[in-house]
Amino acid sequence: MKYLYIIRHAKAEKYVSGQEDHDRNLISAGLERANKLSMWLKNVEPNLEKIFVSSSKRTVQTSEVIQKYMNDISIEIKHELYSATKEDLINFLLFIEEDADSIGLVGHEPSLKQLAIYLTGAYSKDLENVLNKHFSTSSVIVLVLNIKRWDQISERIGVVSHYYDSLSL
């Protein structure tokens, strides 16, 4: 079994014309929600072993907050995850050579939710409607994937086992 934590970055500064989207920082409310997200993640089994992160400031900052709560987790910043499509994310996962059974992707909408929809074939009790909701900042979808290696990723192989929405607390 493999476990995929699909994590949307925390709340960032609004986009301002002329500013690089890539350089937007988390706002104080985003930092607060990232801390709550991290406390939740710390209590989910299995614990994350590694996080692959988009190179944007807001995703890196979100990951650093997570790492603060989970000291033994490693972070790998991947430029190709910034503005990645669902297909890009699938291809990224297919080529992970890690032995890690539990990884996270910290990135952006709409591709994260599209990835979750593509991979989901079933839901744990009471989670049947989570993919119908808006995937807000600081939210997580945890999928249990019935595979032995990451290169076995395919459509509808996952079960949504956990869901965290920072706005519903």
C-alpha dihedral sign at 69, 74, 80, 85: negative
Architecture field, domain 2-13+21-168: 3-Layer(aba) Sandwich (3.40)
pTM: 0.96
Pairwise CA distance, residues 4 & 153, whole Å:
11
Q: Is 63 left (phi over 0), alpha (psi -120 to 50) or beta?
A: alpha
Burial of 61 (0-12, 13-18, 19+ CB in 10 A): buried
Strand runs (DSSP E) across 44-89, as ranges? 50-54, 74-78
Q: Which residue ranges in the chain fall short of pLDDT 50?
A: none
The burial of 77, by beta-carbon neighbours within 10 Å (0-12 exposed, 13-18 middle, 19 or more buried), is given as middle
All structural domains of the chain with their residue ranges: 2-13+21-168
- At 6-21, the pLDDT tens digits run 999 999 999 888 889 8
For β-strands 140-145 and 74-78, DSSP reports them as unpaired
69-97 tens-digit pLDDT:
987 899 999 999 999 999 999 999 999 98
